[in-house]
Structure 1
């Protein structure tokens, strides 16, 4: 990239110094000293009134008309009023005051200006030097030097210019220090966020690795054993053969879902993000698989369900999937009824299972994460979820998943 010509840079800096907008204000005093915030306004107003009165008293020694004295006093305190929020405007008013308030100075005065204007001008220059960048600051120093060189006595010019240069340099150092601290704080915050993101990615990769090495291995072994069992065992009847086929299908389907989850955990750019997600249209296949596994399931679905959005359909699919798994685990031999209905602006899902058969073995007790996951899926869509035992020993799961119909208005 080509560097800009110095003349163009200088011209742009001059325009910013003379008539461009002020830089953003520094940190407000109310945030730096919150205890003094209620008193800063009244104190500042009293100070300006006092300086205005002192300026009137000093300007009276010039023996000027009363209106001119008031104008000079207003030009003297006006930069101080604009200084907190508009430092460049305050400096421009200061240059005007230094150029105008020079008529008929008192005899023997070392400066053509009143003391309030001298001290106020030094304060304005110091604040501006700490707020603007270096190219603008150079023009501020040059323009401020003009009334000094033209109106101040030659014996005092060197001292005034040295003081002016000192204020400019100190202000630039303060601005550079503040900019460096802000850049360091921003870099520190960015590093902390990057470290947090890296820690999350490492933890997700570790979880994915553990799932792949442990769970996926066992699921693959289940699928292989279920597929080869009819050939390794003698006199396998057809119902048993079909049950082995159902176990193998369920294991392969679980492996497919696990691979999709592993892809999400590893943040792979392709595959899981574009893979189709199951929905309401896949409920029949899931129920058929549960029937082949020996779970008596009856599915009741209201048609049509085309208006149901994809996220709602996915949540309903996962809730039914977890409900069937819980019924098979905790109530083996019991019958399951799944009802999915689309009402006005909501999809209701109800899963009811009867108590398990008296002679069936009790499934192992889970950790309760399945019910928690179903509840979180429903609440993520702004819906409602209830689950609990029934009086006859069964168990019921009810979920209501709201959605906005096409063409409807809030």
Structure 2
């Protein structure tokens, strides 16, 4: 029980200490803290007149300096003092656009010091430029600072009023300071609300765009699953059961059915991986192993079992110099080249050439003239486009075209930096 009472007392002291802490922090910020951020330039929407703002402002400051110097000379101030007080009157206005809080500090200093030798018959202790300039500085500062600093700015601004202004004029000046503080706080709150609303609107738009993209990816994944994956499953099942449903199937034909079933299962595996990427909300790094040059033999054996006569002319599959992206691109280019040869040149002999160099990889897939009409339609599809994109994305080149003997060839040059750490 005593521990609970002590904890409650500490919490109460913290709560009571919080306003004092905020007040001290606000006072430190007001007197020597970081300045308020500059606001948007009034002429930002008109870049033409904005370029003349600085020269016009300097000319206005010079004119104000001369007017103040004339008034203070009429008050009988010595010329050095008049020059100093005139500079102190103009300096806050020059610092106001970029450093509003600094401008207010200079203004308070000027209000407290630029009153010496004022005529005794005057109820107003400052020159008109200094009085009007101090009002302008205060009107800008109250729209830039938060409430703790605003409270101290208002409190300190009343010190010259109580000490130097005639009692008959104090109430209007205090009312003017209070009105400026209230209006400035409302303007600042309105500006912050509009800024937060704009940020929230932008965030909502990005969220809607992300949801639209995710919904479209989900729809594509659903269509691919319902159509493509279904047919690929049927192909795999029919290819596996065909040797048992047909009597007297020769061994080469049975091997072709086995190859068709294996290709269909591989396609289903790739399809499931692609569907998982499409359905996922965030695309992370792929953890499944990607094929490379060492897998060319397996792919060529599968193509041979499917009835495609393929010969390979290649050196070492991978001697440690070929980066993984280059090996994957070479594998996919050979894969697409064999698929195109099987579709568009049935029965033609296919030759795959792979050369691993010190700074690049050369891949070439060529086929002889077709022995039978093509089994695919005349639409070229996206195979050549995909191969070209893979090659150019690595900084390489890609060529494709018919051969003089009636065949067809695709070739890719895939460069890489042998000295880099990308292995």
Shorter chain as denominator, the TM-score bin is over 0.9
| Residue 180 (structure 2) pairs with residue 167 (structure 1) | yes
- CA separation in 2, counterparts of 1:183 and 1:26? 16
Map of 2:381 onto structure 1: 368
Contact 1:335 1:354 in 2 (8 A): yes
3-state DSSP class of the match of 1:31? Answer: coil
Give the counterpart of 2:70 among 57, 61, 72.
Answer: 57
Map of 1:100 onto structure 2: 113
Map of 1:295 onto structure 2: 308
Residues 295-349 of structure 1, C-alpha deviations (whole Å, 9 max, x = no match): 1112223324422222222122111111111111111111222222222322222
What is the 5 A alignment of 1:253-264?
253-264=266-277
Q: Please report how far the alpha carbon of residue 249 of structure 1 lies from its aligned counterpart in structure 2 after TM superposition.
A: 0.6
Q: Please report how far the alpha carbon of residue 268 of structure 1 lies from its aligned counterpart in structure 2 after TM superposition.
A: 6.9
| Alignment size in residue pairs | 408
Deviates more, 1:179-188 or 1:268-277: 268-277
Map of 2:324 onto structure 1: 310
| Residue 403 (structure 2) pairs with residue 403 (structure 1) | no
| Residue 331 (structure 2) pairs with residue 336 (structure 1) | no
| Residue 102 (structure 2) pairs with residue 89 (structure 1) | yes
Q: Please report how far the alpha carbon of residue 188 of structure 1 lies from its aligned counterpart in structure 2 after TM superposition.
A: 0.7
Give the counterpart of 1:8 among 16, 21, 36.
Answer: 21
Contact 1:137 1:168 in 2 (8 A): yes
Residues 10-33 of structure 1, C-alpha deviations (whole Å, 9 max, x = no match): 111111111112122222456332
Residues 62-103 of structure 1, C-alpha deviations (whole Å, 9 max, x = no match): 211110000000000000000000001100100100010011
Deviates more, 1:85-94 or 1:278-287: 278-287
Q: Please report how far the alpha carbon of residue 229 of structure 1 lies from its aligned counterpart in structure 2 after TM superposition.
A: 0.5
Give the counterpart of 1:221 among 226, 231, 234.
Answer: 234
The gaps in structure 1 that reach 5 residues or longer are none
Distance 1:270 1:136, change over 3 A: closer
Distance 1:24 1:378, change over 3 A: farther
Q: Please report how far the alpha carbon of residue 271 of structure 1 lies from its aligned counterpart in structure 2 after TM superposition.
A: 10
Q: Please report how far the alpha carbon of residue 354 of structure 1 lies from its aligned counterpart in structure 2 after TM superposition.
A: 1.8
Contact 1:208 1:262 in 2 (8 A): yes
Residues 81-136 of structure 1, C-alpha deviations (whole Å, 9 max, x = no match): 00000001100100100010011113433311110111110111111111111111
- CA separation in 2, counterparts of 1:30 and 1:314? 56
Residues 251-282 of structure 1, C-alpha deviations (whole Å, 9 max, x = no match): 00110111111111111779983211112211
Give the counterpart of 2:165 among 152, 160, 163.
Answer: 152
Deviates more, 1:137-146 or 1:297-306: 297-306
Report the RMSD for the aligned CA atoms in angstroms.
Answer: 2.0
Map of 1:252 onto structure 2: 265
Residues 188-245 of structure 1, C-alpha deviations (whole Å, 9 max, x = no match): 1111111111111111111111111110000000000000001101111111111110
Give me the TM-score of the superposition, normalised by structure 1: 0.95
